[in-house]
C-alpha cells in the first residue's frame, strides 16, 4: 500500500478556532488557545500520522488589520504559507456569519492555485436550518474544493475533514516519526504555554504586549526539570499587573503553566518566572528577531 504525505495550511481571521482545531487533530496541546484574538504568532507545525498517510499542519497567525511591525510579521507569515502546501484550510466562525475579515482573506486566495477547503467551525452554536443558507453564501466567495462543517471544540466531523484532506496528499515519505506531534522544540512549546496562562489571566491592555523567552532549561540529577523563563512587557504598569499584589498573579501563572509543562515533559518541573520591561518591543525589528519572530519562518 502506498504512503501519502503533505503539508496543509490552516488560515482564517483571528479567533475562529485554528489552534483548537490543531490541538483536536493532534490529540494534545501544541498550540495555545485563548478567547483573545491574535493568540498565535508563529507557524505551529503539527503532525498527524496514520498507517497510510501523514499530514503536517501549519497553524498560521490570524490575518488581521496590522497595528505594529509584529502585526505585519504575522500577516506575512500567514499569507506566505499558502504557496508552500498541498491544501489550504480556510477556517471561518459559522456562529458569527460572513464578515469583512473573511472577505479580505478570500481576496488573498484568488491567486492561490492550491486546493482550498472551506471549514465552517463552531457549528455546535448554530441552529440546524441556518447551515445550508450559510454554505450558499460562503460558496460565492471562492471556488472551494470542499466545504466541511465542523466543531473543533467538541470534535464533530473532524474525522470527515481528515478523510477529505487525504485525497489531496501526493505519494510521499513519512517526514516525522509516527509518535512525533510537532517539529517545534520543547522550549518553544513551553514558552507558548506560559504565554497562554497570561492571556487567560490578565486584562485587555496586557495580552499583545507580552512575549516569553526560555533562558535556561536543564534536567537535575533527581529528574526534576529546572526552567527559567522571562516574560517581556512594554510598560512598567504591565509588569505590575503580571506580577500582581504580593506576586499573586505571577505565582498563579506559574502554577497553571507548570501543570501543562509537566504533562508535556512527563516529569516534575521547577519553573522560575521573571518579568522584564522592553519598551515598544513589538515595533523594534532587532528585538523581534531576538524573540524568534523571523520573516523567513
Nearest to 261 by CA among 199, 209, 188: 188
Spatial distance between the Cα atoms of 268 and 179, rounded to a whole number of angstroms: 22
18 annotated to a ligand binding site: yes
143 annotated to a ligand binding site: no
237 annotated to a ligand binding site: no
23 annotated to a ligand binding site: no
DSSP 3-state of 22? helix
Place of cell 497595528: 67
261 annotated to a ligand binding site: no
207 annotated to a ligand binding site: no
135 annotated to a ligand binding site: no
177 annotated to a ligand binding site: no
122 annotated to a ligand binding site: yes
CA angle 26, 290, 229 (to 5 degrees): 65
60 annotated to a ligand binding site: yes
244 annotated to a ligand binding site: no
Place of cell 506566505: 80
105 annotated to a ligand binding site: no
100 annotated to a ligand binding site: no
124 annotated to a ligand binding site: yes
Return the H-helix or E-strand segment holding 44.
Answer: strand 44-49
Residue 91 near residue 21 (C-beta atoms within 8 A):
yes
Residue 92 near residue 15 (C-beta atoms within 8 A):
no
Strands of 94-145 (E only): list them.
Answer: 116-121
230 annotated to a ligand binding site: no
Q: Which residues are annotated as a binding site?
A: 12-19, 59-63, 121-124
Q: Which residues are annotated as a binding site for GTP?
A: 12-19, 59-63, 121-124
Amino acid at each position: 500500500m502506498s504512503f501519502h504525505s503533505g503539508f496543509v495550511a490552516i488560515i482564517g481571521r483571528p479567533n475562529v478556532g485554528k489552534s483548537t482545531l490543531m490541538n483536536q487533530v493532534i490529540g494534545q496541546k501544541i498550540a495555545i488557545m485563548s478567547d483573545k484574538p491574535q493568540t498565535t504568532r508563529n507557524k505551529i507545525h503539527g503532525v498527524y500520522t496514520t498507517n497510510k498517510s501523514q499530514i503536517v499542519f501549519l497553524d498560521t497567525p490570524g490575518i488581521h488589520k496590522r497595528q505594529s511591525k509584529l502585526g505585519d510579521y504575522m500577516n506575512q507569515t500567514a499569507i506566505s504559507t499558502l504557496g508552500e502546501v498541498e491544501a489550504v484550510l480556510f477556517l471561518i466562525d459559522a456562529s458569527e456569519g460572513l464578515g469583512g475579515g473573511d472577505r479580505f482573506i478570500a481576496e488573498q486566495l484568488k491567486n492561490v492555485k492550491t486546493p482550498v477547503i472551506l471549514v465552517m467551525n463552531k457549528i455546535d452554536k448554530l441552529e440546524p436550518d441556518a447551515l445550508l443558507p450559510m454554505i450558499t453564501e460562503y460558496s460565492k466567495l471562492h471556488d472551494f474544493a470542499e466545504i466541511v462543517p465542523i466543531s473543533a471544540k467538541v470534535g464533530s466531523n473532524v474525522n470527515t475533514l481528515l478523510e477529505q484532506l487525504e485525497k489531496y496528499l501526493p505519494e510521499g515519505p513519512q517526514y516525522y516519526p509516527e509518535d512525533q506531534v510537532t517539529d517545534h522544540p520543547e522550549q518553544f512549546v513551553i514558552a507558548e504555554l506560559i504565554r497562554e496562562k497570561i492571556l487567560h489571566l490578565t486584562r485587555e491592555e496586557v495580552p499583545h504586549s507580552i512575549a516569553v523567552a526560555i533562558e535556561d532549561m536543564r534536567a537535575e540529577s533527581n529528574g526534576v526539570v529546572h526552567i527559567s523563563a522571562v516574560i517581556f512587557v512594554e510598560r512598567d504598569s504591565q509588569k505590575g499587573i503580571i506580577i500582581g499584589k504580593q506576586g499573586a498573579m505571577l505565582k498563579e501563572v506559574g502554577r497553571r503553566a507548570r501543570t501543562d509543562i509537566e504533562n508535556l515533559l512527563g516529569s516534575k518541573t521547577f519553573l522560575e518566572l521573571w518579568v522584564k520591561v522592553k519598551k515598544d518591543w513589538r515595533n523594534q525589528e532587532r528585538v523581534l528577531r531576538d524573540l524568534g519572530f523571523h520573516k523567513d519562518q
